[in-house]
């Protein structure tokens, strides 16, 4: 995206800008912030951080999800997503899809609509798209 080339960055900016009138960018910590922040800024839209427990300063809601080796929890502010908000989830790596699936669930539980998932790279051999079946997923690089 931004770090690959200005042309790729603008291409994705235009693609997502055309698909949504009102969009919020949601990014998991910490590398997701690096990619989502410039997109949100250029589009003039909000950026919602999703973090590990205890790192956000306001009242939060959380979701627990399964990992291959245990469980994890993510939180976001309770007022970050409103009914009808269109949300683009942005991150650096799409591995198993578990984190993206959990973030999508917490967004939808808050009344938002996940319009897509955008990641720099995908670990295709882990087959994350099976877990995210039915969702619009775009990546620039697949390994």
Q: What does each of the 143 residues of the chain score in pLDDT, given as a tens digit?
A: 444 566 666 666 666 655 554 567 777 888 888 888 888 888 888 889 999 999 999 999 999 998 878 899 999 999 999 999 999 998 999 999 999 999 999 999 999 999 999 998 999 999 999 999 999 999 988 99
Spelled out in words, what is the top-level CATH class assigned to the domain 6-84+105-142? Answer: alpha beta
Q: Decide: 24 and 48 in contact? Cβ < 8 Å.
A: yes
Question: Distance between CA atoms of 28 and 22, rounded to whole angstroms?
Answer: 20
Q: Which 8-state DSSP code applies to residue 53? A: T
Question: Distance between CA atoms of 141 and 131, rounded to whole angstroms?
Answer: 19
Domain boundaries, the chain: 6-84+105-142
Locate all alpha helices (DSSP H) within the chain, ordered by sequence. 6-19, 31-43, 98-109, 128-131
Residues forming the active site: 31, 68
């Amino acid at each position: 995206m931004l770090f690959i080339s200005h042309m790729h960055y603008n291409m994705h900016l235009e693609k997502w800008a055309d698909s949504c009138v009102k969009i919020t960018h949601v990014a998991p910590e910490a590398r997701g912030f690096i990619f989502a922040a410039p997109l949100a800024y250029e589009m003039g839209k909000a950026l919602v951080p999703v973090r590990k427990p205890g790192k956000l300063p306001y009242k939060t809601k959380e979701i627990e999800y399964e990992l291959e080796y245990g469980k994890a929890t993510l939180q976001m502010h309770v007022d970050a997503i409103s009914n009808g908000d269109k949300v683009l989830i942005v991150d650096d790596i799409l591995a198993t899809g578990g984190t993206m699936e959990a973030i999508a669930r917490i967004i939808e539980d808050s009344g938002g609509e996940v319009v897509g998932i955008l990641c720099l790279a995908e670990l295709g051999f882990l087959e994350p798209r099976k877990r995210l079946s039915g969702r619009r997923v775009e990546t620039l690089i697949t390994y």
